[in-house]
Structure 1
Amino acid sequence: MRSKARRGYSDVVRASGLIAVGSGPAGLNAASAFRARHPRVPVTILTADPAMPYEKPPLSKEFLCGRRSDIDLRPADWFARHDLDLVLGITVERLDVDNREVVTRGGRRYPYWHCVLACGSSPVPLDVPGAGNALHLRSFADAVALRMAALSARSAVVIGGGLIGCEAAACLASDGIATTVVAGEPVPLLRRFGVDAGERVAKILSDNGVRFIGSAEVAEIDDRGVTLATGEAVDGDVVVAATGVRPDISLAVEAGLRTDRGRIVTDEHMHTSASDVYAAGDVALAYNVDARRHVAAEHWRDAARQGMIAGETAAGYPRSWDDLPEFSCTIGTSTLKYRGWGTSYQHSRLVDHRDGFTVWYEADGEAVGVLSLNADEDYQQAAGLVRAHAHIDG
């Protein structure tokens, strides 16, 4: 599917300009920012996803619960009105930095002046017998399949205690489905936010009707549910594999771009080690001016901002990434908010409030993040503390 008609293209698309690989917020914002500066230079967005660009955060919340159906990132006619060539359902197989071409499956070549890699992430596969019986929740198609399966389900098992798994579990439980979360860690979100926060999240799940089984290993999945390594059977008409995602950096690796920690290394302008190639969103390990180091940002707002910076810089108007990453996670009626560098921390301090809590995170004597529930004053204060590399008074 294409947003507008081609002009006699064959195996080689002769028009050069900016190519964005990926139709999420990073790819779309890169294309939009570049187009705003150069109204007549060709801009192409290539994506393997067959669906029109959509928001992903609602997939595990409002969309799955049936409370929202309109999740388009842009109206259908927006691409034609801005003269952006959107090509859906096409797989990019190779980035040829020597010839400055993007090569797709089937051998079609797209020459570029500038290329933005915004390939996003792919689900980490679940390696157990019967894994094919589990549904994922990464794409619009995944969300539709899960929503349809849930209509006739009386029980569900969500494998994984991360953000998406917790959101999806609470959503399924809200529909009257007996839902269980099975995780390898003793509490949800342990690796990201620590034991104290995890215990609070476990209570939030329980308050929303979700059973949590921690320190558990899945041995097998079948059409009745999940069998744990202990032999315990957990009923699930629907099984969801929320086992995390992995940035899709295969194009960069094969092209010889510099990578580190499973991501593409960029400077503060989102420029990679290859000439006129940029990276944004999940795949990027970008230098953050305020953090004074490279930061992996994995969420929607960060991807949108990085895409805009890449597009502006490619257009000849360099911008620098200095934003403080932030995101929210809604589990039932509870919305957790995080603001910080997302790096490992050495110390954490939890403060309980009447109807919520705050967890402060510190590394090398500096504030690096805060997680809060119903504590907006702490959340706002954290922005200044983290940016200033301040010490958190206990």
Structure 2
Amino acid sequence: MAAPGFIAVGSGPAGVSAAETFRRRHPRIPVRILSADPALPYSKPPLSKEFLGGGHTNLELHSVGWFARNDIDLHLGVTVDHIDVDTQEVVTVGGARYRYWHLVLAPGSAAVPLSVPGGDSAQPLRSFSDAVALKMAARFADTAAVIGGGLVGCETAARLAGMGLSTTLVVPEPAPLCRRFGPDVGERVHKMLTDAGVRVVTSTTVIEVGSDGVTVATGERIAGEVVVAATGVRPDIRLAAEAGLATERGRVVVDAHMRTSARNVYAAGDVTLAHNVAAGRPVVAEHWRDAAQQGLVAGLTAAGTPAVWDKVPGFSATIGTFTLKYRGWGGRHDTSDLSERAGGFAVAYRAGGRVVGTLDVTANPAP
């Protein structure tokens, strides 16, 4: 059995950040990353942005040489079967056992399946392999149907239209992104997509996926040689739940230091319901920068360095010729104030009179 040390389960920003941070402070303790993804750790935000559109092909977080030079042992394409918090062991599906002194759970999220007839034939866009498959399929297609009006759905639809495909976005709500940002923003995003060449079909759902497109609840048949299921993600808390760690609202409960309810076990990224010091309450953060920040905190805590999660969550998205930047706590708001400005607009979201989020939308300069 390999010598015990630090283990991160997951090769996304949270797992890599935690491992990198711990290694900087403990150069001789074994550090391992176990990941079900066979690809070298990579950045996911560009998958529905530059990468799909034909650019930004270098997605690696670090090179193979960097991991070797920093003595971080990568185990890729490995599925963890279970963790034993009593013996402090991680056991893989193949039966390999790894003892740990400190363990960071950062498995991320899995795409929510499209549960309709033919839904399993729709292409997800969650991993590098998904993005490669979608990019290749789009090269030999003339039409595309994208299901889901969230950030990934909107970005993907705009990119496919920009690649020359006749693209339709099917949105179950009255407007894209309206559930997250409100109806005023939803209407503007609808126009962004239309200006980008996307046909937007709202207030309906897909009831069947066929070989040449989808059928929606209204009975309309929408052409799609390529069908993308951007139907959301679900945090992968299986390992934590089976190990008896405290969970709530489908996530792993952690404190501001990223500590779970089990000794020497931490969690970071999508799977967490984490206490944020600045917010003064538990917060769900589902985006890249937040995961990297939580991984940093987990790595510092495991290394014995005081650290808390106190950053305001945030993310950015690109839809057509516009960039959307959000900072805030998410969740519900009582009021929203939209103000127009040159080349875009801004929105302040308030709850109980307090600003809980801001959205800035700006037009990108012409290339």
Q: TM-score, normalised by structure 1?
A: 0.91
Q: Deviations over 1:223-269 (max 9, x none)?
A: 11001112100000100000000110111111111111111111110
Which amino acid is the alignment partner of residue 95 of structure 1? I
**Which ranges in structure 2 are unaligned for 5 or more consecutive residues?**
none
Equivalent residue number for residue 360 of structure 1: 348
Task: Choose from 363, 372, 381 the match for 2:360.
Answer: 372
Equivalent residue number for residue 390 of structure 1: none
Equivalent residue number for residue 232 of structure 2: 244
Q: CA deviation at 1:208?
A: 0.3
Task: Choose from 108, 112, 116 the match for 2:100.
Answer: 112
Distance 1:292 1:162 in 2: 28
**Which ranges in structure 1 are unaligned for 5 or more consecutive residues?**
1-12, 376-394
Q: CA deviation at 1:287?
A: 0.5
Task: Choose from 1, 5, 29 the match for 1:17.
Answer: 5
Distance 1:343 1:216 in 2: 24
Q: Deviations over 1:289-325 (max 9, x none)?
A: 1100011111111111110110111011020110011
Q: CA deviation at 1:333?
A: 1.7
Task: Choose from 39, 60, 70 the match for 1:51.
Answer: 39
How many equivalent pairs are there? Answer: 364
Q: Deviations over 1:100-126 (max 9, x none)?
A: 111110221111000000000000111
Task: Choose from 62, 65, 68 the match for 1:74.
Answer: 62
- How do 1:202-351 residues align onto structure 2 when only pairs under 5 Å count? 202-351=190-339
Which amino acid is the alignment partner of residue 23 of structure 2? R
SS class of match (1:321): coil
SS class of match (1:113): strand
Equivalent residue number for residue 36 of structure 1: 24
Distance 2:247 2:210 in 1: 38
Distance 2:334 2:103 in 1: 38
Q: CA deviation at 1:373?
A: 0.7
SS class of match (1:144): helix
Q: 1:168 and 2:165 equivalent? A: no
Q: CA deviation at 1:282?
A: 0.5
Distance 2:335 2:187 in 1: 17
Task: Choose from 100, 118, 121 the match for 2:88.
Answer: 100
Q: CA deviation at 1:354?
A: 3.3
Q: TM-score, normalised by structure 2?
A: 0.98
Equivalent residue number for residue 131 of structure 2: 143
Large movers: runs of 4+ above 4 Å: none
SS class of match (2:86): coil
Q: Could you tell me whether the CA contact under 8 Å between 2:113 and 2:120 is conserved in 1?
A: no
Q: Which moved more, 1:143-152 or 1:98-107?
A: 98-107
Q: CA deviation at 1:343?
A: 2.1
Q: CA deviation at 1:90?
A: 0.3
Distance 2:216 2:306 in 1: 52
Which amino acid is the alignment partner of residue 163 of structure 2? D
Q: 1:89 and 2:85 equivalent? A: no
Equivalent residue number for residue 26 of structure 1: 14
Distance 1:336 1:284 in 2: 24
Which amino acid is the alignment partner of residue 313 of structure 1? T
Which amino acid is the alignment partner of residue 218 of structure 1? V
Equivalent residue number for residue 378 of structure 1: none
Structure with greater strand percent: 2
Q: CA deviation at 1:374?
A: 2.3
Which amino acid is the alignment partner of residue 101 of structure 1? E
Which amino acid is the alignment partner of residue 168 of structure 2? T
SS class of match (2:160): helix
Distance 2:233 2:178 in 1: 16
Q: CA deviation at 1:14?
A: 3.1
Q: Could you tell me whether the CA contact under 8 Å between 2:119 and 2:208 is conserved in 1?
A: yes
Q: CA deviation at 1:284?
A: 1.0
Q: Could you tell me whether the CA contact under 8 Å between 2:269 and 2:291 is conserved in 1?
A: yes
Equivalent residue number for residue 112 of structure 2: 124
Q: Which moved more, 1:197-206 or 1:346-355?
A: 346-355
Q: CA deviation at 1:207?
A: 0.8
Distance 2:80 2:316 in 1: 32
Pairwise CA RMSD: 1.1
SS class of match (1:30): helix
Distance 1:66 1:82 in 2: 32
Percent sequence identity is 63
Distance 1:247 1:42 in 2: 28
SS class of match (1:77): helix
